[in-house]
């Protein structure tokens, strides 16, 4: 699905959203390479900078070594280093920068959102629901996080904003029964997309696993392929911890896509690169703010360029 917002508006939001990470990387690279040769010291400092920005130790050493191989013992301008890194990072991300493609023959496509508390599941559902609606799709939401009354209300607020029906259950109702009812209703209404919000209490892993598996199981009574997409939402501000969260959730559900939120709030945006490299799961969307428009498709080149602060004068 392509983003609805004009390309230029999206790019300026992306640039702003990645500003903390790009500021740190660009500033660091300028500090290291102004007047300095590309030698062991500067390569080591670059590697440290990349690790601090959460690209992960293996990517950091791989990129530094690749740069050294090209230009060792020669003067190199900071701008060239940024260009080099952006190209390398884009190449790492490219295989995993996949849009979420909905199968139009499914009425509806069922998207289940999972992830640790506070990572941005409900917010992401609100943003996506609004995007899909703007594209003319019929959307419904299921509040299958029934553990907190506030969680249901939060989803209802997003639903009201975009004029989208939200199927809810009683407080502490069985999440699977809410999901099942929502699926039945979405089917009857001829909806294109059903987005299911879930709870993320990883502290009680056995319960969460049982809950997510039960939701999946009841959805499969309607369509054995449902849920058609299970997306894990990760909070970029947690840095390397996002990697262990993916490991944990892989045991709980069949994760087939990632959404990485809160990139606007952190200089640890390199975690996106570490996730692509290590987890090899498609990254569908990134969140770059709390507003309804602050989400977009994940583009490897645009992301890499903006991570290095290179798209200056686009809009």
- Closest to ligand GTP by CB, 32 vs 273, is 273
- Going residue by residue from 33 to 62, which x/- string records binding to Mg ion, judged by CB under 5 A? ------------------------------
CA atoms within 13 A on the CB side of 248: 19
- Closest to ligand GTP by CB, 117 vs 185, is 117
99 binds, among ligand GTP, Mg ion, none (CB under 5 to 8 A by kind): none
Q: Which of 56, 108, 175, 200 binds ligand GTP (CB under 6 A)?
A: 200
261 binds, among Mg ion, ligand GTP, none (CB under 5 to 8 A by kind): ligand GTP
Give the sign of the dihedral formed by CA 126, CA 277, CA 102, CA 216: negative
Residue 125 beta carbon to ligand GTP: minimum distance, rounded to whole angstroms: 8
Longest dimension (CA), the chain: 68
- Going residue by residue from 115 to 154, which x/- string records binding to ligand GTP, judged by CB under 6 A? x-xxxxxxx---------------------x-----x---
Q: Which of 21, 64, 119, 122 binds Mg ion (CB under 5 A)?
A: 122
Q: Which stretch binds Mg ion (CB under 5 A): 44-52, 119-127, 257-265, 297-305?
A: 119-127
Which residues in this chain contact ligand GTP in the complex, by CB under 6 A? 115, 117-123, 145, 151, 200, 233, 261-262, 264-265, 287-290, 294
């Amino acid at each position: 699905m392509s983003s609805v917002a004009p390309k230029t508006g999206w790019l300026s939001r992306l640039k702003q959203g990645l500003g903390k990470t790009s500021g740190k990387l660009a500033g660091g690279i300028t500090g290291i390479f102004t007047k300095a040769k590309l030698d062991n010291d500067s390569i080591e400092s670059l590697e440290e900078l990349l690790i601090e920005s959460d690209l992960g130790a293996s990517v950091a050493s791989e990129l530094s070594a690749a740069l050294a191989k090209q230009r060792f013992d020669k003067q190199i301008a900071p701008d060239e280093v940024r260009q080099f890194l952006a190209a390398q990072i884009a190449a790492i991300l490219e295989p995993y920068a996949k849009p979420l493609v909905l199968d139009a023959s499914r009425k509806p496509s069922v998207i289940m959102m999972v992830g640790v508390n506070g990572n941005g599941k409900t917010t992401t559902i609100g943003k996506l629901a609004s995007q899909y609606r703007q594209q003319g799709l019929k959307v419904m939401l299921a509040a299958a996080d029934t553990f907190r009354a506030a969680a249901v209300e939060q989803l209802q607020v997003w639903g009201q904003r975009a004029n989208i029906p939200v199927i809810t259950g009683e407080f502490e109702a069985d999440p699977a029964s809410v999901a099942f009812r929502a699926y039945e209703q979405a089917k009857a209404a001829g909806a294109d997309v059903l987005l299911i919000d879930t709870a993320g209490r990883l502290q009680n892993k056995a319960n969460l696993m049982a809950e997510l598996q039960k939701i999946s199981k009841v959805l499969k009574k309607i369509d054995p392929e449902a849920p058609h997409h299970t997306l894990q939402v990760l909070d970029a501000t947690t840095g390397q911890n996002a990697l262990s969260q993916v490991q944990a959730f892989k045991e709980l559900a069949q994760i087939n896509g990632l959404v990485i939120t809160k990139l606007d709030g952190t200089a640890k945006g390199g975690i996106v690169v570490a996730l692509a490299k290590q987890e090899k799961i498609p990254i569908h969307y990134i969140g770059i703010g709390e507003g309804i428009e602050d989400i977009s498709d994940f583009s490897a080149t645009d992301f890499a360029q903006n991570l290095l602060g290179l798209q200056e004068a686009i809009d």
